Amino acid sequence: MDKVFINGLKVDAVIGVFEWEKQVHQPLLFDLEMAWDIRQAAATDDLAFALNYAAVTEFVENFVQQQQFELLESLIERLASALQQEFAIRWLAIRVEKPAVVPQARAVGLRIERGEC
């Protein structure tokens, strides 16, 4: 299966369990990989048959910015489900980083896979 990817998507979000975190925007970095059969898009050179990564990017930005989560786990799980539903994506992997949370690390985060490839 072919895969479309978006790497290093930065989205500012209100996320965290501590009160100070609920008052500020923090950057999150997303890497997405989505299964998509590109053959019809390639054969026709028609965007209608492609997974439109600009639309996916906008969807992720809106989803993250319009909601508030305490846990990355909640955010990433709901985002995966929403993306699969909105774009009919059979399989996807999402990696999210929350930079500068742990002083000893560049970032902390999660990676999940959902669906069948």
Give the catalytic positions in this structure. Answer: 98
Give the phi and the psi of residue 39 in degrees, each rounded to 5.
Answer: -60, -45
**CA gap 114, 91 in Å, rounded:** 6
**DSSP SS3 for 91:** strand
**DSSP SS3 for 81:** helix
Is the separation of the CB atoms in 13 and 26 below 8 Å? yes
SS3 content of the chain, % helix, strand, coil (to 5): 35, 35, 30
